[in-house]
Amino acid sequence: MGQGLSIQKCDFMIPENNKNHHTEEISTGRLIVRRGQPFTITVSFSAPIHNYLQQMKKTFLIVQTGPHSSRADEIQTEFPISSLGDQKQWSAAVEEQDPSFWTLCLNTPANAPIGQYTLLLRASKSPQFLGNFTLLFNPWCRDDVVFLPNEAQRQEYILNQDGIIYQGAENAVLAQPWDFSQFEEDMVDICFILLALGEHLQREKDPAQRKNPVHVCRAVVAMLNCNEFRILTECEPGQHSNGTPPSKWLGSSPILQQWIASKFQPVRYGRCWVFAAVLCSVLRCLGIPTRVVTGFTWAHNTKSSLSVDEYYDEDGTLLTQDKSARVWTFHVWNECWMARTDLLPEYSGWQALDATCQEKSKDLSFCGPAPVHAIKEGDTHVDYDVCYFFAAINAKCHVWVHKADDTLKPAFGGTKYTGNNISTKSVGSERCEDITQNYKYPEGSLQEKKVLEKAYRNMKELETTSSSSTQFISIPTVLEEPVNISIHLQSNSSLQLGQDITLSIEVFNHSGREKTTHLVVGIQALHYNGVPIAQLWKEEFHFNLQSDSVNNLQVSVPYAWFGKELGENHLLRLTAVLSDEDSSYMYLAQEEISICGSPLTIEFPENMVQYEPGTAKISLQNPLMEPLEQCVIAVAGQGLIYRQRNYR
């Protein structure tokens, strides 16, 4: 190129391109596009092009991810400007030209590595800078492995910034609103920073790997909770005096902003639902369709065993002899949508991804992405970590009573099944959608039996071929239960704060002869992860059961007896332990209930004007017979309030 030729201006046509690429909510001031989809720019020259025709016969565009294109951890691609662009690879075509400007259509491959790129034009030895742009995954592009064919699902799992995370108990699901804020200011930059840190800590140096959503998911999830630069610190339930309790977070942006502002110091504190919510925000921002999933009755840290045990004392108090493997009332993880080109085609679709630390034999303690189809079919040999998900939702929990003489007795009737009521927010509404059928066949069905047998065979093969210390235990058989006595415990599964608990206990004597029995009914406060807080109440009953009869008990427990120590998640476990004094058999029934806080009501004026101040009224009714003190109302709202505000 001769002297005097220079680029006067390059217009990235940001409003039009960002709108076409569904990124206008991320930014209106910078170009953010999705791979596999063309975008248009105009290049204005400082002098008429015909003065330099000889020098411009060979004109190239260069895209690179950093200032040092020779470095191994950066990408550089050079391609010619032609009259026809190849839509399958990096290319550029002249759409319109004038004596002093070109309108160019740029194509990016549907498998291009995502990242933050610099664009340059070269018609001589010195390339000239045109500008910077960001490239994301594209679920609207059929050739992208994250392609999601349903538009309503793309709106929900990529563009929706408002979500719901389900907590509570299996029969009393509570909805927790969450602000994913994946398009808030600086979010896309934060996401690429944590992606780069995750790659560095996993010693992943090949930048081309960013074309693969499996690689991106694993690099991001490793940053949530599993290394020195992790975004969040996990705390023991109830122990968060020097940080924010996990239940007090309302959205992802304050967490990520705090992590960046503190120069990558872990934010205090998070639990499984916070990890999943932040991970959902990051992956949606990067363009991977993602949702938050809650499973009720989850067997955690079973190390792929299909059996887990719970221990109670004779009063029905849950004990913690096994501090690692226990049944959680609920657990929250993620699903992300992608084609698994590294696996068989049937494993494409939703992939389970869990950022909560596991006790695993490998260095990395997160799980996934594991094909949900593989989990359902018991294909436990499939990457990544299908066996851990399978065990968590298919294990059977046997209950034992630790007697005063230090012996263990099986508690008949207490066997629990895990993986019940797996739920997520439905598309386009706030309804809770049950997706259990995606993960497992109906309990007791022939298909379930076949899957369990196949999974056990796969696990045994892995045990014999692996040097891992993980032990795989056989399919648990239900303890043979005597048919002499059965016990049934019933209560309202969900109560409002301040309400009394009404218990109904039915004891059936099927033995054909009179029985002398001892019954202990109790209430225990519980953390969501199965850790007991305190025994709040118990009552004992002695009675004789006539032959082939039923004894009905109705017990009312005032709120004042249990309301002071509900714990962060407001979960209670009700137990009834029956001793047959003739045979020394023990029977147990249990039920979990959740205590709902009083709902806040928000009222807006009938008419509000954009960019004008407005006043909202927030009200709360106190359901208790005592005043509420030291109250704090946390308020957040996209486009309404800058960051989260706390009002005392």
Catalytic choice (22, 215, 331, 570): 331
Using CA atoms, how far residue 556 sits from 265, 484, 524, 533, 539, in Å, is 49, 28, 15, 22, 11
C-alpha torsion angle, residues 303, 309, 313, 317 (rounded to 10)? 70
Q: Report whether pLDDT(500) > 80.
A: yes
Which is it for strands 349-354 and 326-338: parallel, antiparallel or unpaired?
Answer: antiparallel
**pLDDT band at residue 358 under the 50/70/90 scheme:** confident
Of 578, 571, 576, nearest in space to 592 by CA: 571
Helix (H) or strand (E) holding 392, with range, is helix 386-394
pLDDT digits (tens, 9 = 90+) for 292-324: 999 999 998 887 788 888 999 999 999 976 556
Percent over 70 (pLDDT), the chain? 91
Angle at 447 between CA 442 and CA 450, to 5 degrees: 130
pLDDT digits (tens, 9 = 90+) for 94-121: 899 888 889 999 999 999 999 999 999 9
**pLDDT band at residue 468 under the 50/70/90 scheme:** very low
Between these two residues, 69 and 534, which has the higher pLDDT value?
534
- Residue 339's Cβ-side half-sphere holds a number of Cα atoms within 13 Å equal to 17
Catalytic choice (217, 272, 280, 336): 272
pLDDT digits (tens, 9 = 90+) for 205-249: 789 999 999 999 999 999 987 767 899 998 877 677 789 999 999
Mean pLDDT over 377-386 rounds to 93
Catalytic choice (144, 179, 354, 580): 354
Catalytic residue status for 596: no
Q: Report whether pLDDT(638) > 80.
A: no
pLDDT digits (tens, 9 = 90+) for 276-293: 999 999 999 999 999 999
Catalytic residue status for 354: yes
Q: Which domains does the chain have, with CATH numbers?
A: 7-136 (2.60.40.10), 151-465 (3.90.260.10), 483-594 (2.60.40.10), 600-647 (no CATH)
**pLDDT band at residue 577 under the 50/70/90 scheme:** very high
Q: Report whether pLDDT(469) > 50.
A: no
Q: Report whether pLDDT(19) > 60.
A: yes
Q: Report whether pLDDT(5) > 90.
A: no
Check: CB of residue 595 under 8 Å from CB of residue 566: yes
Check: CB of residue 502 under 8 Å from CB of residue 556: yes
pLDDT digits (tens, 9 = 90+) for 163-221: 999 999 998 999 999 999 999 989 999 999 999 999 988 888 789 999 999 999 999 99
Using CA atoms, how far residue 193 sits from 26, 390, 471, in Å, is 16, 33, 38
- Average pLDDT value over all residues in the chain: 89
Using CA atoms, how far residue 25 sits from 15, 46, 182, 203, in Å, is 10, 33, 9, 33
Instruction: Provide the pLDDT for residue 68.
Output: 55
The reported pTM is 0.93
Region of poorest pLDDT, from 12-16, 412-416, 537-541, 587-591: 412-416
Catalytic residue status for 527: no
Region of poorest pLDDT, from 152-161, 419-428, 552-561, 563-572: 563-572
